[in-house]
Structure 1
């Protein structure tokens, strides 16, 4: 009897220790389980922060494990061309369950996999996000939508000042330009900015204070980056020449398609004080160098592998959107932003500043 009592006591202690470990894991890490319907891929990729994780899909099911220091914006992708029908979702340190649907459609000769999330549970941030999306779709046509939007955002941010979704939804609404300056300032002061990423802060500040961004007629922000030979190249080196700063990436199809035309212009005007500096936002050095070689880019090319955390790319507005370009005069002043190939050629022929600005 004594032996049985000791055995039962030991099992009770072990069970409590096990539960304690399990509870601690659920608080300090996330588990993302899901079921896929439709086109079932062999591998599923999860992107969040600077992390790209992958799992083997078995019987239409997937399981991700990881740790985030705060709720993070996340998205899925699969091999080939894929897009999410909604921009993103939020993961946090908890056990989450998802139902995912993947539908393949042919568009303009390409097979594109559309990834949609039918349901998600276990993420408090997703509940806040879904609540706002339903509220917005219900009331955004109302005559008093401005005041309703402000009150809704005020409630979300006041109740969740440190949650990254507060900054996320605030930034999205800033871009829509519905809120007035007074409303924007009130909401901004309620956000716990210490919890925001550098990218979020820069994006918000760029919209609130647009005069701080690089504009036509202003001086460029000089920077120094490494080229394919690991040599440091600075924009200061181009003073006295007309410079086209071309932001691009190896994975950017429009960027790659315009490279042959840029090559023609460069070969025509390179002896007339004209230069091009290619700035890649790639994170994969091998793919970047391969693209430079395959596209036969003979002008200097540099790379900033810091991605969204790069102050250079944030300042020039090129963290996600490429191609982007800036035409700089011989004194370092910005002549044009996102100038077309045709307008660039006209400018170089005429050597005047009568160039259209394209946003």
Structure 2
């Protein structure tokens, strides 16, 4: 599987931390070959470089004392001007990097996280192919089609790789010089990523540091806010509006057919429904799918209880359609849960499922 270099560095800034631990092995090969003795660097943002020299078109780094996950930049300017590629490593990592003749792609193999990086860059290459050269600069332009499309690719990849420490590194790229919306996207995604993926991960510290002066003020709908008016279509094509739930304690969950954690939550919600629906709790599931077929297919398979609606306009990040339910709530990551009081106020919310906290909030408000 081959992956793209072309846009990779647009999304990453890097930093390195060192501890005491066993080393990592990074091997590489230039498929076009090159002279022996040419320098190849693995560099951190402080300018500290590890040095290797080519031999028979190959190079190797033994990285010592790197006890935490972090981003490194592989640099080979002496072989191809401006060549650089971001790699995610820690002590014990085993990675092989094969660089093709055109220097625009790279194949990464090795351990699990190496294969995840290969998958990520492959998908990024496919995503960027949807835009021709006239869109190159647009990747920096907030709100441009390319910017939105690439950000959406990031978001969806992370949602489906919540156990991966590499997801934390991707999240950090959202936060560097981005708009307020992307900061909120980053916050939501970071909450979703599993605790083990954040452990012994230098990128976790950097994300937390950048969130330290950031609170929920960017959220479009906060606890104690009244929910916005909205509408969507149920599976029969009938319109259901927010007015339908006034006067009822209502649990709203946002999900998508392509979201693995959401599909699991569809199943886990069933006992919550069985425990509380008869006591007066209403359930409303709002999909951020854009495909009616995929939405219906997921419902038929999961058989979730409660009301099901979708407006087919996507997430907050995807289309930025001002009247979409995803935009009105600022839904950039799923699943999300909102417990809404009888008078329409949010009394509890979470990104990701915290069933015990949710049940307590329900008990407190029934």
TM-score by length of 1: 0.45
Specify which structure has the bigger relative contact order, considering alpha-carbon pairs within 8 angstroms and separated by 6 or more residues: 2
Rg bigger for which structure?
A: 1
TM-score by length of 2: 0.44
Q: Considering fraction of residues, name the structure with more strand.
A: 1
Q: Considering fraction of residues, name the structure with more helix.
A: 1
